[in-house]
Structure 1
């Protein structure tokens, strides 16, 4: 059972998400928060696996909340909820440790899929919007590109192949199919990649890969 917390200042959005998630027998909504500060309190009191977090909220926004949530002893995975017009903030949230994001008009089935993917250790980067948003708002400097390339030099050629597909938003199953590998082998490669690149999740690894021009 995946334990989910919904964080949004719009009561109707919270209600709609709660109704959607309740239809999935593998998901339990254990908490609902109206802002980032309440989210921290509830995540401390409850065992939360995945938090769906809005970007703009009173008292504490989704970016600050993501940093605080990921720093908790029992840190939940975080998926950012946003609208396209606000996505200049999404990169900051992903860099802070979020495992992905959803546009608020995402198909309901994709929202459920995102919860399951993130809970299982994968990331949810919307196939088209994620790349567009990161490209638009993540302008790398020459020094940043050089530093990213230096980290990638720590990887084996096979690990670079895996990272290139990861940077495109592929799941472990997708990567296994495309590289003719077992999924367990892909998981081992991903674990090694995160360690070598000194990042905490797949999204940060993907951003670093894009900084270095891999898979761009």
Structure 2
């Protein structure tokens, strides 16, 4: 089954309530998969980077409780350190260059990823921009338990049909196969860090 809820409806009480919901389903499932081609995965975001929620509020015209929403997003990151959860995450290299908040924010964000790269709870891979991928380009998605979550421009979508879940797992496997991990990922991170240290001018 696939269901969707318009963001303007889902965020009608602000961003904090939605972040609370995300925290609950993170806590209820011990393992997760996520593919994010052009942004940093929410559970690895710094506080400064997470203020991108303000752009969501502005775009959708929903109640502005961004500081509360950001605080909840920081709270959800506890799952990386509690010893009870495991997440396999694939980022596109573009995620390291999509400018959220300017060079200082981006440099700090990349430092955060480098710091957490070897966490036992985190399997992080990065697909280099020129890497061959045995997959057509696809949107971001995350899979927890028996649910896939997608974020569209107008709505949040939840997929629970087993055959569709199998396709998402297959897609993640192919994306994961194309990703660099360990030292390869670290090199891409340091390259991006140098870019932002020079003010994002290359």
TM exceeding 0.5: no
The higher-RCO structure (CA 8 Å, 6+ apart) is 2
Q: TM-score, normalised by structure 1?
A: 0.29
Q: From the two aligned structures, give the one with the greater strand fraction.
A: 2
Q: Would you tell me which structure has more helix in proportion to its own residues?
A: 1
